[in-house]
Amino acid sequence: MNDIFFLKQVDNSCIRKEIDHAWIARFGTCLALISLFVGALLAQEWERVQIREMGYQMERVRAECDEIQGQNHLLQVERASLRSPQRIDQIARNDLGMTPTSARQVMMLDAGSAADQPVMAQAQATPPVLTSKSHVSE
Amino acid sequence: MSSALRKSAQNRILILSLSLFFWMAVIVIRLVVLQVLQHAELLDRALRQQQQIVNIVPHRGGIFDRNNNDLAMSVDVDSLAAWGSQIKNPAAVSQALAPILKMDSREIESRLASARGFVWIKRKLDQPEAEAVRALNLKGLEFIKESRRYYPKRELAAQVLGYVGMDNEGLGGVEYFYDNKIKGSPGHYFVQVDAHRHRYARQEPGRSTGDETVLTLDERIQYITENALKEAMEKTQAEAGTAIVMNPHTGEILALANAPDFNPNSYKLFDPDSWKDRAVQSIYEPGSTFKIITVAAALEEGLTNPDEVVDCQMGSIVLAGHTIHDHERLGMLTVSQIISKSSDVGAIKLGLRLGDDRFYKYIRAFGFGSLTGIDLPGEVRGIARDPSQWSKISIGALSMGQEVGVTPIQILRAVATIANDGVAVRPFITREIRDFNGHVVVANAPQFKRVVSARTAVSMKKMLEGVVLYGTGRNAKLDGYTAAGKTGTAQKTDPQTGRYYHDKYVASFVGFTPVNNPEIALMVVLDSPKGYLHQGGQVAAPAWKLIAEQTLRYLNVPPELPLMEVAKKVKAPAPEDTVSDFESNDLSAQSGGQDVLLAVPAPDFHVQPAAHYPASNSGDTRVEDVKTFQATANTVTVPSLIGKSLREAAVECREVGIALEVEGSGFVVAQNPSPGALVPPQSKVMAKFARHYEKGTL
């Protein structure tokens, strides 16, 4: 006995899977949280890298600063040495041919006298002069 | 789905879950082991790997003078160390380092060979040394920063500033006295490092710099003082010397100089004796300067007055069976003249009037036998014995400055008491100490104590002015300023025998200027000046004058007196033409047996008669006004003949065109007129000669 097969055309194109909105919302939330988490991790790591990079820069600047400060201290020592009264005296006497001031070369000014006071510019109390361009308001 | 398929799927899920669980369990267990069980060990290892400990080098605070000029400062320098285990060829390394470090190569090699770990090679290198070693680029060497003390003014105020040791500890002077404040605090901080040992983070360290010290010294007055002292030392060939300048109203030390000096940058190269601050650490018998105390005490007790005439018994007095001789035969003297002529007999008589207990009370009141309180290390009290330990002759010896041990600062303080109208001040050398931010943490303020009345002090001022005007301190007479002071010449004691040396003296001059409103009190002490000139008035007074004049000018103190004109040397006539008759000159005034004034007022000053002081007297007790004459082309300056032979003196006189009158034989021990006096050409100068030194007067 022969089997008889019938070809039946089945068209499922009109079948649509039901959209699970709740699942999409959970998935979206989860994805967002994961993205946020990963983003935060990346941001933190980026920050750490930046901090470390800044640290390297700061250390370089600090080392440079220490070096400059050391040079500054050495220059201060040199300046103080150059300002030594002994050295100045020797240069004045030997190189410039100077001699100590005698008492007669020094004139003391009387601090109390008015003539020695500094002269200040004095404001003159002069009457106002009206010109053609003057505006007189009442 | 069939049940078999479902079961298979469940088995796979179970296996996966178990695997995950096992994997997680392993991780958790491992974490527990690492984080809990091995926590301390791993933390320690991590810190070692990721952190470096950096030691903070404490910086000593700077030292400044009163005008904030740097006197001592600290700088970071490199010290060279090595890790012995990392140096493969110590011989080659030491050969390379030795010429740069100026060290023996065998010494370096032995250091490198003896240590497997850390070893210092040389500490606190100079900059060129460090750069040269760095250029060698040798493996196993390490540079470590250390702080090094610099004294940029070198010898200036060396004994006051002191010096520091290799580990920056203060070893002398202010560096030692205020070491706790100056030295700063050592410490350390942590630095984060990566796998390549590069630093990338750190804990910010606090300040490690010590406090800054501002002294009362003025570096220019200090230089003036040191220069004058050095000059005096060269002239007199003295063994040591001290000079102190002080503000008598506040006790601030403006200058404190010692000779011989040293460079504190390399103090080890100098004789340790030069490190000593003699102003506060050396004791000597003051001699005649102590008569100030004797007379001031007698005046204060109302036992005498400046005009009382005392019989000085022609320079001799017997005390408890001992005869004490004066340096010259002096008869009737006023108390003022006892001071100006420095009569020992007169001082002894005043001391006897005081009696042991009263005299001792004033000795202590003036601060002898106790510390002045100056903020310098090693100050000694001196020796002022209790009257119960005195012999019968002690009061006589004390009256003229023997049997008492003082420091220069004590004598200066006593004279400053007179200058300050009877009120003693505590000398101090540190004005203030301030922290790194400039806040004052210690401030020294003047401390006062009345010792004698203002009336006594004023009387003493006038008497001490007489010493400079017509007494033993004429060489301290200032150009343009009044001055008061007292000379002192004390024999030194031989520490071996306990007896006085016959040829070793301590010469001193102590005083203040101007007299009425003193700006400075000043003392010069010369220990064992050599040659004929050894008295305080001869060797210490000129240095005193030099310091005082320059200091007053520097301080802008206006002159009170007419300035003197510098004498011009004139070409002298031929010796054979000289006329040794003083009367034959037609000068407007002459000065008989007395010195003429050393100089004359400058023409642009109106000279008041009261400003003319007698320059000397001829041995009698009268104080006579000496007229002046104008310095003209017809005046010559009397040369110093002291210490010269007859031939040398004659040549010297011939050169300037004056006649020489001779008394005795040997070498000149005294002359009249004094050196530097202006006299008419062809005048005669009387010179007293002696084979051995005796205190000559004319």
Contact A89 B223 (CB under 8 A): yes
CA angle B529, B534, B537 (to 5 degrees): 125
* Smallest Cα distance from B129 to chain A, Å: 15
Cis peptide before B260 (omega within 30 of 0): yes
Over chain A, what is the mean pLDDT? 80
Contact A55 B201 (CB under 8 A): yes
Mutate to test the interface with B, among A48, A71, A77, A78 (most CBs of B within 10 A): A77
Residue B39 has a CB neighbour count (10 Å cut-off) of: 12
Please state the length of chain A.
138
- B162 vs B430: CA distance, rounded Å: 14
| pLDDT over 70 percentage in chain B | 87
DSSP string, B626-681: -------TT-EEPPP-TT-BHHHHHHHHHHHT-EEEEESSSEEEEEESPTT-EE-T
B234-263 pLDDT, tens digit each: 999 999 999 999 999 999 999 999 999 999
List the single range of B34-48, B305-319, B498-512, B568-582 with lowest mean pLDDT: B568-582
Residue B320 burial (10 A CB sphere; 0-12, 13-18, 19+): exposed
**Band of residue B321 on the pLDDT scale cut at 50, 70, 90:** confident
Strand, coil or helix: B304: coil
Q: Are B368 and B410 in contact (CB under 8 A)?
A: yes
Nearest residue on chain B to A107, alpha-carbon basis? B558
Contact A80 B70 (CB under 8 A): yes
**Band of residue B691 on the pLDDT scale cut at 50, 70, 90:** low
**Band of residue B618 on the pLDDT scale cut at 50, 70, 90:** very low
Partners of B192 on chain A (C-beta within 8 Å) are 55
Output the pLDDT for position B88: 81
Q: Which residues of chain B are at the A interface, by a Cβ-Cβ cutoff of 8 Å? A: 69-70, 73-76, 127, 150, 152-156, 191-192, 194, 198-202, 219-220, 222-223, 227, 479-480, 549-550, 553, 556, 558-559, 563-566, 602
Of A85, A100, A108, which has the smallest distance from its Cβ to B219's Cβ?
A85
B166-188 pLDDT, tens digit each: 888 999 999 999 999 999 888 88
Question: Which position has the higher pLDDT, B567 or B677?
Answer: B677
Contact B73 A77 (CB under 8 A): yes
A34-77 pLDDT, tens digit each: 999 999 999 999 999 998 899 899 989 988 998 898 889 989 99
Question: Which position has the higher pLDDT, B218 or B668?
Answer: B218
- B196 vs B193: CA distance, rounded Å: 8
List the single range of B31-40, B138-147, B208-217, B434-443 with lowest mean pLDDT: B138-147
* Smallest Cα distance from B36 to chain A, Å: 26
Q: Are B184 and B59 in contact (CB under 8 A)?
A: yes
B643-666 pLDDT, tens digit each: 777 888 888 888 888 888 887 777
Q: Are B292 and B460 in contact (CB under 8 A)?
A: yes
Is the pLDDT at B24 greater than 80, yes or no? yes
Residue B433 burial (10 A CB sphere; 0-12, 13-18, 19+): buried
Please give the backbone phi and psi of residue B610, each rounded to the nearest 5 degrees, phi first: -65, -20
**Band of residue B73 on the pLDDT scale cut at 50, 70, 90:** very high
Average pLDDT over residues B584-602: 34
Contact A73 B76 (CB under 8 A): yes
Is the pLDDT at B227 greater than 90, yes or no? yes
CA angle B367, B509, B250 (to 5 degrees): 45
Contact B153 A103 (CB under 8 A): no
**Band of residue B561 on the pLDDT scale cut at 50, 70, 90:** confident
Question: Which position has the higher pLDDT, B485 or B319?
Answer: B485
- A94 vs A73: CA distance, rounded Å: 30
Q: Are B463 and B335 in contact (CB under 8 A)?
A: yes
Output the pLDDT for position B223: 96
Partners of A55 on chain B (C-beta within 8 Å) are 192, 199-201
Contact A77 B202 (CB under 8 A): no
Nearest residue on chain B to A87, alpha-carbon basis? B153
CATH superfamily of B54-215: Penicillin-binding protein 2a (Domain 2) (3.90.1310.10)
Output the pLDDT for position B576: 36
Nearest residue on chain A to B226, alpha-carbon basis? A86
Nearest residue on chain A to B478, alpha-carbon basis? A103
Residue A127 has a CB neighbour count (10 Å cut-off) of: 5
Is the pLDDT at B582 greater than 90, yes or no? no
List the single range of B18-22, B414-418, B536-540, B582-586 with lowest mean pLDDT: B582-586
Partners of A83 on chain B (C-beta within 8 Å) are 69, 152
Burial B179-210 (b: 16+ CB within 10 A, else e): bebbbbeeeeeebbbeeeeebbbbeeeeebbb
Partners of A101 on chain B (C-beta within 8 Å) are 553
* Smallest Cα distance from A90 to chain B, Å: 12
Q: Are B542 and B475 in contact (CB under 8 A)?
A: yes
Residue with tokens 């100006």: B340
Nearest residue on chain A to B155, alpha-carbon basis? A86
CATH number for the domain running over B575-690? 3.30.10.20
Mutate to test the interface with A, among B59, B74, B76 (most CBs of A within 10 A): B76
Of A56, A70, A89, which has the smallest distance from its Cβ to B198's Cβ?
A56
Output the pLDDT for position B181: 93
Contact B559 A103 (CB under 8 A): yes
CA angle B458, B459, B464 (to 5 degrees): 95
Question: Which position has the higher pLDDT, B565 or B211?
Answer: B211
Residue A136 burial (10 A CB sphere; 0-12, 13-18, 19+): exposed
Nearest residue on chain B to A54, alpha-carbon basis? B200
**Band of residue B676 on the pLDDT scale cut at 50, 70, 90:** low
Which of B584, B583, B564 is CA-nearest to residue B677? B564
Question: Which position has the higher pLDDT, B578 or B348?
Answer: B348
Q: Which of B14-23, B139-148, B326-335 has the highest mean pLDDT?
A: B14-23
Residue B314 burial (10 A CB sphere; 0-12, 13-18, 19+): middle
Partners of B549 on chain A (C-beta within 8 Å) are 103
Q: Which residues of chain A are at the B interface, by a Cβ-Cβ cutoff of 8 Å? A: 51-52, 55-56, 58-59, 66, 70, 73-74, 76-78, 80-81, 83-86, 89, 100-104, 106, 108, 110
Exposure on the CB side of residue A77, measured as CA atoms within 13 A: 19
State yes or no: ipTM above 0.85. no
Nearest residue on chain A to B201, alpha-carbon basis? A55
Q: What is the pTM of this model?
A: 0.74
Contact B220 A85 (CB under 8 A): yes
Residue ranges per domain, chain A? 21-99
Per the structure block, which two tokens stand in for A78?
């040199």
Of A59, A66, A84, which has the smallest distance from its Cβ to B156's Cβ?
A84
**Band of residue B381 on the pLDDT scale cut at 50, 70, 90:** very high
Please state the length of chain B.
698
Is the pLDDT at B373 greater than 90, yes or no? yes
**Residue B251 DSSP one-character state:** -
Of A85, A101, A106, which has the smallest distance from its Cβ to B223's Cβ?
A85
**Which residues does residue B522 pair with via DSSP β-bridges, in sequence order?**
B245, B511
Contact B194 A74 (CB under 8 A): no
Partners of A100 on chain B (C-beta within 8 Å) are 550
Contact B553 A101 (CB under 8 A): yes
Q: Which fold has domain B219-554?
A: Beta-lactamase (3.40.710)
**Which residues does residue B334 pair with via DSSP β-bridges, in sequence order?**
B309
Helical (H) or strand (E) element with B227: helix B219-236
Percentage helix, strand, coil for chain B under 3-state DSSP, each rounded to 5:
35, 25, 40
List the single range of B201-210, B405-414, B538-547 with lowest mean pLDDT: B201-210
Please give the backbone phi and psi of residue B493, each rounded to the nearest 5 degrees, phi first: -100, 135
C-alpha distance from residue B30 to each of A60, B20, B40 (Å)? 39, 15, 15
Is the pLDDT at B694 greater than 50, yes or no? no
Is the pLDDT at B206 greater than 80, yes or no? no
| Close Cβ partners of B272 (under 8 Å, ≥ 6 residues apart) | none
Is the pLDDT at B25 greater than 90, yes or no? yes
Average pLDDT over residues A71-85: 93
Output the pLDDT for position B588: 31
Which of B446, B454, B404 is CA-nearest to residue B426? B446
Residue ranges per domain, chain B? 3-53, 54-215, 219-554, 575-690
Over chain B, what is the mean pLDDT? 84
- B223 vs A44: CA distance, rounded Å: 65
Q: How many CB pairs under 8 A join A and B?
A: 80
| Close Cβ partners of B258 (under 8 Å, ≥ 6 residues apart) | B158, B159, B240, B241, B242, B274, B276, B277, B278, B279
- B449 vs B365: CA distance, rounded Å: 9
- B477 vs B613: CA distance, rounded Å: 10
Contact B127 A74 (CB under 8 A): yes
Per the structure block, which two tokens stand in for B534?
């050894």
| pLDDT over 90 percentage in chain B | 53
